[in-house]
Amino acid sequence: MSENVRVRFAPSPTGALHIGGVRTALFNYLFAKKYNGTFVLRIEDTDQTRYVANAEEYIVDALEWCNIPFDEGPGKNEKFGPYRQSERKDLYKKYADELLEKGWAYYAFDTSEELDAHRKDHEANGKTFIYNWHNREKGRLVNSLVLSEEEVQQKISAGEKYVVRFKTPQDETLILEDEVRGKIKIETNTLDDKVLFKSDGMPTYHLANIVDDHLMEISHVIRGEEWLPSLPLHTLLYRAFEWESPKFAHLSLILKPVGKGKLSKRDGDKLGFPVFPLEYTNEKTGDVSRGYKEDGYFSDAFINMLSLLGWNPGTEQELFTLEELTKAFDLARVSKSGAKFSPDKTKWFNQQYLQQKTDEELAMLFLPLLEENNVSSDTVYIQKVVSLIKERAVFVNDFWGLSSFFFEDPTAYDEKAFKKQWKETTGSLMEELVSVIEAIEDFSIENAQTDIKGWITSKEIGFGKVMQPLRLSLVGKLAGPDLFEIMTMIGKEATIKRIKNAITALS
């Protein structure tokens, strides 16, 4: 299998790429890289009514951010280009004609309205209308199987609209092979004669897909489960063209975190998590949807999370670099059942990745936030702050809330903490503490600890009585790193100032 692995990700540019699409792209990417293969991006824009102009750019940007770029695609190594189906339009006609010639397809002149009427009619009688061997030659449907060649030619030259339908073989049991599901059995008689070529001169997905996969020498088709019902048609199409079929793998869907059904944008809005990798602005409505990137997720954490949704390495390892993923990935270990999406687990991954980063890296990422808050400081100081607070953070965006007191005096005091910790005697105690601090010549952690702890011990009042109000004075709430760290970081003067401020404000 190590030779000539070529896979493709073939999205429709109808909007933002959602998590499920990203995962499909990721699995394709991992599979390609594992076997030193090629990852192709092909834009399937045969439906002009659903085309969205900024969607393709979004898809490319998203893959870029996820660090799973394509090797071949629009504007990149166009060895088998073009890679947009709309630009390959002229190509498909001859393949439709080939099928027509071979008797694998036929012209159909039925209008959408007529077909709708048939469907309604059947439904009213409790039956299901299927355009296939049941009725294609019964005379109620207008196609080249019942019309004479002259009639067909006449209609076509008269400019009558037609589609080309696949002529599904009758009375055959197909045994299909799926890399994740194994064998799938299906009777061809239950299949309908799908449209291959539309009356607007465009191929449908089915034709374009098979033609392009063949022409682009795709070896493995890894796609969403929603395509599984099309597998028999696609297999038959390869047979009709006498082409070698690629191997297929259908990925299960990503489901809602709660309730039933597949994950949608609405779930994200309702439960407060993004379903798109990047922020997306709907061209028509102007609606903006959140993105993982903008929400502060690291792309490698996001990818790591996605990789484990529907796949697992069979070991207990959960944290993977992209390289490790490409090594470990295996289609055989992709699970068959749908996976409910977990926003909580996603956060956990981000937290893990954040903890792994160095203080230097994190300090760099913190810089813009500091700027936003009109704070500037030297890098050594910022790195030290980061080292003290990062274990409390899930996102870099949490940093300011966790560390603002390192840069500016608290502006408010936590109400509950005040009520609980600030007693009548606290004010005078804090004043005494100020003089203890003032007396410390060299304001180091060691000295501060020795002197303050010594003073508390000598007063025989218990640490909490002093330390809690002190924390409230310096931080504004009962949270944060070690107090002696904070005091020496902000310095003796600021420490004294904050205690005095608190005495004034709280006593």
Active site residues: 265
* By the rule CB under 7 A, 312 interacts with RNA: yes
Residue from the set 464, 491, 493, 507 that interacts with RNA by CB under 7 A? 464
Judged by CB under 7 A, the residue of 75, 314, 368, 401 near RNA is 314
Q: Is 336 in the site for RNA (CB under 7 A)?
A: yes
Q: What is the dihedral of CA 440, 444, 447, 449, to 10 degrees?
A: 110
**Residue 171 is a binding residue for RNA (CB under 7 A):** no
Return the number of other C-beta atoms located less than 10 Å from residue 444's C-beta.
12
The stretch near RNA (CB under 7 A) out of 278-286, 333-341, 361-369, 423-431 is 333-341
Nearest of 9, 24, 15 to residue 310 by alpha carbon: 24
C-beta neighbour count of 353 within 10 angstroms: 19
Applying CB under 7 A, among 190, 281, 373, 444 the residue interacting with RNA is: 190
Contact between 21 and RNA by CB under 7 A: the answer reads no
Interacting span for RNA (CB under 7 A) from 96-104, 128-136, 289-297, 369-377: 128-136
Q: How far is CA 96 from CA 5, 186, 203, 240, in A?
A: 27, 25, 8, 11
Confirm or reject binding of residue 105 to RNA (CB under 7 A): no
Measure CA 198 to chain center. Answer: 32
Tell the smallest beta-carbon distance from residue 300 to RNA (Å).
17
Tell me how many residues contact RNA (CB under 7 A): 84
Output 3 or 184, the one with its CB closest to RNA.
184
CB 355 to RNA: min, Å: 7
Token pair of 18 as six digits = 């959602």
| Dihedral, 61, 63, 69, 75 alpha carbons, nearest 10 | -40
User: Where do we find the tokens 């996605």?
Assistant: 306
Instruction: Please give the residues from 264 up to 283 whose contact with RNA meets the rule CB under 7 A.
Output: none
Smallest gap, in angstroms, from Cβ of residue 248 to RNA?
12
Judged by CB, which is closer to RNA: 286, or 310?
Answer: 310
Which region holds residue 320: left if phi is over 0, alpha if psi is between -120 and 50, else beta? beta
Name residues contacting RNA, limited to 355-414 (CB under 7 A): 355, 391-392
The interface with RNA within residues 207-266 (CB under 7 A) comprises: 225-230, 252-253, 255, 257, 260-262
Residues within window 284-303 making contact with RNA, judged by CB under 7 A: none
Contacts with 48 (C-beta within 8 Å, 6 or more apart), sequence order: 86, 200, 202
Q: Is 504 helix (H, G, I), strand (E, B) or coil?
A: helix
Report the distance separating Cα 251 and Cα 228, nearest Å. 9
Binding mask 75-94 for RNA (x = CB under 7 A): --------------------
Token duo for residue 417: 């903490």
**Closest distance to RNA from the beta carbon of 34 (Å):** 18
Nearer of residues 326 and 468 to RNA, judged by Cβ: 468
Q: Any idea what DSSP says for residue 111?
A: -
Residues 6+ apart with CB under 8 A from 402: 389, 392, 393, 480
SS3 395: coil
174 is a contact residue toward RNA (CB under 7 A) = no
Choice from 16, 55, 59, 202 touching RNA (CB under 7 A): 202
Look at the chain and count its residues. 507
User: Residue from 37, 277, 338, 410 that binds RNA (CB under 7 A)?
Assistant: 338
